[in-house]
Amino acid sequence: MILRFFSLLLILYLLGFLLFSVTLGGPAGDRRTDAAVVITGGTGRIEHAVRLITSDWHMRRALYEFGRVLGDKYEIVPDGVRSQPRFLTLFGEYNKYVLRRIAVLLEL
């Protein structure tokens, strides 16, 4: 019974990683905004600065964090800078995203 439970958790975790990997954030297109928040650290982000801007693989966690803080006060327009992330980069970011969601649920 316990083995089945952990097997199910592992399958859900792997399916979540697969979904995370194939639905990376992309460019927002031509939209006018009042401000831009560029999360620095990678190439092409500042040059592309129009909205909430970060690498495609980092967008989901950034959107989650900014959405939690800003709520419905502001419209957040995600603009992911396309990249070619390595497997370990995606895997690490997915784990950070999952752990952050769990921490918020547990109010840590």
Sheet with 78-81: list strands edge to edge: 37-38, 52-55, 78-81
Amino acid of residue 103: A
Q: What pLDDT sits at residue 51?
A: 73
With tokens 């918020």, the residue in question is: 104
Specify the DSSP class assigned to residue 82.
Answer: P
Q: How many DSSP H helices and E strands does the chain contain?
A: 3, 3
Mean pLDDT over the full length of the chain: 88
Share of the chain above pLDDT 70, in %: 91
pLDDT digits (tens, 9 = 90+) for 35-67: 888 776 667 766 666 577 788 998 999 999 989
81: phi then psi, degrees, rounded to nearest 5: -80, 120
User: Domain residue spans in the chain?
Assistant: 2-105
pTM over 0.85: no
